[in-house]
Amino acid sequence: MDQREGRTTAARLSLKRKLEAADFEDQNQGGRKLLVIEDGNKDVQLNSAPRSASSTSAQTLPSSSKPRSNCWNYDVFLSFRGEDTRKNFTDHLYSALVQAGIHTFRDDDELRRGENISTELLNAIRGSRISIAVFSKGYASSSWCLDELAEILRSTKTKGQTLLPVFYDVNPSDVRKQTGTFAQAFARHEERFRADMERVQRWRAALTEAADLSGWDLESVANGYESRFIEEIVEEVLLKVNRVRLQVAMHPIGIDSRVEEMKALFNLKTSDVCILGIYGMGGSGKTTLAKALYNQICDEFEGSSCLLNIKEVSGQLNGLVHLQEQLLYDILKIKNVKIHNVEEGIKLIEKRIQSKRVLVILDDVDHLKQLQALVGNCKWFRPGSKVIATTRDEQLLTQLGVHGKYKVTELNHFGVSSTFLLACLQDGPSKRRLSRAFNSCSGVHWRTSFSS
C-alpha cells in the first residue's frame, strides 16, 4: 500500500467512525433519507431524519455578508464635542434620530475623567452600525473625541461600520488638513503628548480620512438652516438603517473569503469612479458573490442599486427602460418614474445621479448596449462611485474598459459535497456532527449522492 492510498484509507475510516458515532437515527420514527458518501470503492451510509415542514417552507435566506445585523447594539453612535454642541445642535439631532425610531447612543457624561476612552464608550462604538462625527471648532481640542474617531475608523475596517461626518460651523478643509482651530488644538496636543507622538499622528490620520468621506456641511447642504440640515441627516440614516439586505445563499460555503479577495483586488476605498467586473461560467456563483459584496459595502454609499438578471429582463418588451426606472428608484427613491424610451432614460440617469456617490450592481450582462443604457461612462457619477458587472463574457469587460476583473472559479469537490450534505441535514445536531466530520477529513476527493 503506497502512502497516498494509506492516507485515503485512514481518512475514510476516520469519517466512517465519526458518522457511526453521530447517531443520525430519526427520533420521531418518521421517514428517513439515505445519504451515500462515496470514496473510491467503498461507501459510508447513514440515515437522516427528514426536514420538518416548517424548515422546507422557510423563505428567508441568511446573508453571508458580515457584519450581520444582529451584532449591532445601536443604530447610531454620536461623537461630538460637548462644549460646542451638546445643548444645541447635537441635542436637536439626537432628538430627531430618536423620534424617527433610530436607536442612538449619546454620551451624557459632561465631565470626562482620565486620559483614555472608557470601556463603555468603546463597546458602544464597536456595537453601533453607523457613527456620526459632528466636527465643530473645538472637536480637535478633546483627546476623547479624537480617540473616539480613531476607534470609529478602526471599526469601519474591521466590522463594516459606516462613518458619516457632519461639519458644523467648521470648514471641511480645516478638518482634513488640521488648519485653523484644528491647528491650534494640535499644537497643544504635541506639547502635552510629546512622549506619545504616535498617538497624535494617529489622530491626524483619522481626521484626514474622515474628512475625505462623503458627509454633510451645514453651509453647503442647507445654507446654514439647522432644521433642514438635521432632516437631511436623519433621512440618510433611515435609508441606511432600513436598507434591505439581499438574500445570498442558504449554505454560503467559501463566500466570505472570496468577497474579501474581491474587496482587496478592486480597491473599493479609492475616490475614483470605478467600473469593475466579475466573470465566470454559468452557475459558478457570480451573482451570489456580487450580492454578498453588495451587502457588505452598500452602506458606504449615498445610494445603491442591484439590478438582477439583466440578460433576461432586457430581452423583454421595454426591458431596458424598466431597468432604468428601477435604477432611478433605488438610488433616488422617486416613485412612479416614467421613462418612454432608452435614450430618454440615459439622459435622465446622467442628469439625476451625478450628485450622488453610488454603488450599482449589474448582474448577468451579455451586451454592451445594456451597460451603455444603465451606467454610460464614469463621467455620470460622483467620485468614489462603483459599478460592478457580472457576466460570462470576459471579452465584454475588456470592451467596456473595466478597471478591475475577478474570475470566479468553481467550488472544489469538497466544497460541493459540504454544501450538498449541509443542505440535506437541516437539524442542528446532525449538521454540526457532519461538519466536524468533513473538517477532519478535508482534502479527500468525495462524491455524494442522495436518495429518499
pLDDT at residue 47, rounded to an integer:
39
How do strand 128-135 and strand 386-391 relate by DSSP bridges? unpaired
Cβ(111)–Cβ(41) under 8 Å? no
Angle at 394 between CA 326 and CA 253, to 5 degrees: 75
Residue 148 makes CB contacts below 8 A (sequence gap 6+) with 79, 117, 121, 125, 133
pTM above 0.85, yes or no: no
Residue 337 makes CB contacts below 8 A (sequence gap 6+) with 325, 328, 329, 348
Domains, the chain, in order of start with CATH, read 3-59+412-451 (no CATH), 69-241 (3.40.50.10140), 255-407 (3.40.50.300)
pLDDT at residue 444, rounded to an integer:
37
Give catalytic status of residue 148 as yes or no.
yes
d(CA 254, CA 259): 9
pLDDT at residue 74, rounded to an integer:
92
Q: Going edge to edge, which strands form the sheet with 104-105?
A: 104-105, 74-80, 128-135, 162-167, 216-217
Catalytic residue, candidates 5, 20, 120, 148: 148
Angle at 426 between CA 420 and CA 432, to 5 degrees: 85
pLDDT at residue 28, rounded to an integer:
39
Which parts of the chain have pLDDT scores under 50?
A: 4-5, 7-8, 11-69, 110-111, 413-414, 441-452
With cell 420521531, the residue in question is 28
Element of type H or E holding 11:
helix 3-22
The candidate with the shortest Cα–Cα distance to 326, out of 353, 301, 307, 354, is: 307
